[in-house]
Amino acid sequence: MKVAVAGKGGSGKTTVAAVLARSLARAGRKVLAIDADPNPCLAVSLGIPPEEATKIEALPGNLLVDRIDPEGKRAVGLAMSPHEISERLGVKAPDGVMLVLMGGVDHAGTGCNCAGHATVRAILENVSGDEALMTVTDMEAGLEHLKRGTPRHADVMLMVVEPYYKSLETAVRVAALASELGIPRVYAVANKIRGADDEIVIKEVCDRQGLKLIGSVPYDEVVVEAQRSGAAPMDIDGNSPAVRCIAQIAGRLESGE
């Protein structure tokens, strides 16, 4: 299963992706977490100390190679399998999750991150041959990754949504574009819910758009403390309300709900 986590900037998608990855790993799955945000923060949310997270190198640009497909047409492929990428280039996070980084923005005026997006897309395309390997990809905030087709080969798109107009509008656009890419399962995840009214607002929008709401994650001071201290929510309190709810979402995805 290949899960892509998307949403507006600040919606909490990185927290959801991190807890999801570790929950799946604790359930016995082999998990490759991919930070596909040019402003990478997934490492810290997974529980890698900030001083180590800043030293993680992005995937090299030479992973993409030219190939000739069976029909004689030029195609771009991977120089090694996703399993090899995980084992040779990945960084181990808590619970055995392996992490790779698409690559961030090191200098101004250096152009687009086309190669990074293409590499992530190729990993997701080729990981299907290894049924034992699951991927959880923290996508770039906003819509650019959908325009580029980066998550085209994902099995599941989770849209993390806050109960605010701009976040809801972004979710509607993400859902439409994910459908155009042919992603089989597209779900909304309500996040930072403070009460019944917040959940009702999100559910009404989901119902109008024909979207399934796969789970609601409450506002949780543990998540706030994790962000403040540069730690993983699961390491501060693995039984906090938000962590429990995201773990339940992981179980629903595994069961095919």
Measure the N-to-C terminal CA separation of the chain; round to a whole number of Å: 13
What whole-number distance in Å separates Cα of residue 235 and Cα of residue 232? 5
CATH number of 2-255: 3.40.50.300
200 DSSP assignment: H
Task: Assess contact for 215 and 195: CB atoms under 8 A.
Answer: no
pLDDT in tens, the chain (257 residues): 999 999 888 899 999 999 999 999 999 999 999 999 878 899 999 999 999 999 999 888 788 887 766 777 766 778 888 888 989 999 999 999 999 998 655 545 444 566 777 888 888 888 865 567 899 999 988 787 777 778 888 999 999 999 988 888 888 888 888 888 899 999 999 999 999 999 999 999 999 888 899 999 999 999 999 999 999 999 999 999 999 999 999 999 988 76
Q: Are 153 and 2 in contact (CB under 8 A)?
A: yes
